[in-house]
Amino acid sequence: GRRGQAGVHMACVLKSNGYENITILEKNPNDGHFGKTHSYVLEETGDSVIHEMGTCYLSWSYKHIRKLFEHYVGPDATMVPGKDKFNKIKMPAPKLMQTKGHTIETSDEWLYAHLEKLLLPPPVWNLVWDKAQALRFAKDVRVYRKLHEKIMGKYPYHGMIPQPVSKEAWKLIDQTYAKLMTSHGLQSILDLSAVGFGSYGYGYDVPALYGLWFVTPSAVESYIKAKLSSKVKPVEVVQKGYSNLWRKMIESPAHDIRSSIQYGAKVTSIDRNLDDESKKKVSITYEKEGKTVINEADFVIVAAPMQEIVPLIKKPTEVEKKASESIETVGLNVVLYKTKKKDDVSLTFYPETLQSIYTKSPDGEVYAERNSVRTYMPSHDEKHKCRYVVTYQHLPGGSHGKDEYYDKKAREFITSKEQVVWPTEGKVEKLYQKNWTNYFPRFNQKAIMDGYPWKVYQAEGHNKTWYIGSSVSFESVEDVTTFNLDLLKEQGFKIRFPPPKPEEN
C-alpha cells in the first residue's frame, strides 16, 4: 500500500470491514501530508488559513468524498471559495481583449466573447449567464449528455469508466477531447471544461477518454443549476484543508491504521512466487533506516503509480509491463508567494495560457492564482497587510529539476500587465514551492485504443495483486476512492463504508 489518498482509503475500508492484518509501506517520512494532498500552514497567516499545494477542490459531483467529509470531519467541512465576500471568479483574457476591444474579466464574459470569436454572432450565442440565458446553454448540455452516453453508455460516473459501447464509440475516442467537442459543435462545453481542467492542473489537450472521464454530464449540469439556484455549489474548498480528512480517517477508532503504516519504507523488489506453488506468500523487500527488510503478505495492493512499481516486480505479466510502459505524466508546479495587496477575488484563472489558439506552446505559464486568505478566511483579509497567493503552472514536458526556472517564470507572469491585465506590483517573495513531477498519470492514446485501462482492470485480483490509485483510474480524489469501492464490489466483497457511527450500531 501507500499513504496517499487511494492507499489510506483502501486500508480504512478493509479494516473497517474486518481485515486486520494490513501493512502500509510509505516511502516518505511522516510529514503530515498524504500523497498529492499537501495542506500547508504558514505561521504568519495562522492555522485558520490553509495554503493548499495539492488537492484543493470538490466539484458538485464528488458524492463519495462529500460523504467522507460529513462522516469524519463534520457537516460544515466545505465552503464556497471566498464565501459571500470574495466568491467571484476572475478570468482575464488579454489576447482576446485585443480583438474584442473591451474588458474581459469574469468567467461569463470570457465564455461569451470566446464563443463569439470562434462560432456565431451574439444573437445566436448570447451566453451572458443570467437565469434566462442559462437555459439556452442547457441545449448544449443535453447534446453532450447524449454524446457521452453514445460513447460510454450509462454508468454512475467516477471510479472506473466503462469501455466504449460500440465500434463507432471506439472511433470517437481516438482523438483529443478538444477535437471531439469541436467536431460536435460543443465549443461551449469545451470552454466551460477548460476551467475545470485548468483548476485541477490536467492541461487542456487531453485524450478524449480522459475528458469524458472527468467532464461528466452531471458536472456540466451543475454549472447551469448553480445559475438557477443558490443552493447548488459547483466548486468548493475544505475549510481546514484536505489533509484533515485523511488524518481523521487514519486516526478513526472505527479503523485506526496508525500502527499499520511503515514510514520511510522504500520498496526495492516484489516477488509473488508465481512459479512455486509451495510458496503462497508475496515477498516484499524494502529499505528502511539503512536496513533491508523482507515482509511476507498474502496479497499486495499497489497504490503507488503503476509505472514506478511494475519494474520492481519479479516476472510481471505482459499486461503489467505494457500498461506501465505506456503511462504518461505531466508536471504541476505550485508556489506560494507573499506580495503587495491588490484588488482581486479568491480565484483567478487565465484560460488563454492552456489553449494553443492563444499560447502556441504552453509550458509553465501561470494558469491560476488563488488568494489563500480571501479563499479560506475572508473575514481576516483586512488584518493581513500582505497578499498570500498560490500560483499554478501546467508543465506538459515535465518539471524534473526545474524549480528555479518555473519560479522565475511564475514571477514574470503575475507581474506582467500584458499577460494578466491587472498585475501584481512590488516585491514578490517565495514562501513555499511544491513541484509535482509525475502528475496526472494516464495511458497514452495507443494504449487506450489497445484497451489497456480495461485490461488492467480485468486482471485485478490475478497473481495476488490489485492496482489502485490515479495511474489506473483518474487523477481526482473522487475517482480514486470510488474506484476502490468499485473494485471491491467487482471482486465480490460486501462492504459498508463509511462505517456506521456508534449511535447507528
> Which CATH fold would you assign to the domain 5-37+240-326+443-491?
FAD/NAD(P)-binding domain (3.50.50)
Helix (H) / strand (E) element for 96: namely: helix 94-100
Helix orientation angle between 107-118 and 187-200, rounded to the nearest 10 degrees: 140
- Closest by Cα among 49, 44, 48, 2 to 23: 2
Query: How far apart (Å, rounded) are the C-alpha atoms in residues 425 and 337?
Result: 12
Q: What is the CA radius of gyration of the chain?
A: 23
Query: How far apart (Å, rounded) are the C-alpha atoms in residues 386 and 342?
Result: 9
User: In the prediction, which pLDDT does 133 show?
Assistant: 54
Can you read off the three cell numbers belonging to residue 452?
Answer: 489497456
Q: What is the pTM of this model?
A: 0.91
Query: How far apart (Å, rounded) are the C-alpha atoms in residues 102 and 95?
Result: 11
Contact 218, 157 (CB under 8 A): yes
Can you read off the three cell numbers belonging to residue 220?
Answer: 456540466
Q: What is the pLDDT along the chain (505 residues), one digit of tens a residue?
A: 556 899 999 999 999 999 999 999 999 888 878 889 999 999 999 988 999 999 999 988 899 999 999 999 998 999 999 998 888 888 777 777 666 555 556 656 655 555 555 444 444 334 444 444 556 677 888 999 999 999 999 999 999 999 999 999 999 999 999 899 999 988 878 877 766 776 688 877 789 999 999 999 988 887 777 766 667 777 899 999 999 999 999 999 999 999 999 999 999 999 999 988 788 899 999 999 999 999 999 999 999 999 999 999 999 999 999 999 999 999 999 999 999 999 888 999 888 887 777 777 777 889 999 999 999 999 999 999 999 999 999 888 776 678 899 999 999 999 998 888 889 999 999 999 999 988 999 999 999 999 999 999 999 999 999 999 999 999 999 999 999 999 999 999 988 899 877 554 4
**HSE value, Cβ hemisphere, 13 Å, CA-based, for 32:** 7
Can you read off the three cell numbers belonging to residue 60?
Answer: 458538485
User: In the prediction, which pLDDT does 110 show?
Assistant: 56
- Is 415 buried (19+), middle (13-18) or exposed (0-12) by CB count in 10 A? middle
Can you read off the three cell numbers belonging to residue 192?
Answer: 466551460
Q: 410 to each of 353, 391, 488, how far by Cα in Å?
A: 12, 7, 43
Query: How many CB atoms are closer than 10 A to CB 344?
Result: 18
The DSSP secondary structure of 444-486, one letter per residue, reads -HHHHHTTHHHHHHHTTTGGGEEE-STTTS-SSHHHHHHHHHH
User: In the prediction, which pLDDT does 484 show?
Assistant: 97
* Beta-carbon contacts of residue 165 (< 8 Å; ≥ 6 apart): 150, 151, 152, 153
What SS3 class is residue 335? Answer: strand
3-state per-residue secondary structure call for 366-408: EEEEEEHHHHHCHHHHHHCCEEEEEEEEEECCCCCCCHHHHHH
- Closest by Cα among 209, 152, 159 to 469: 159
Question: Where do the domains of the chain lie?
Answer: 5-37+240-326+443-491, 107-237
Query: How far apart (Å, rounded) are the C-alpha atoms in residues 435 and 393?
Result: 10
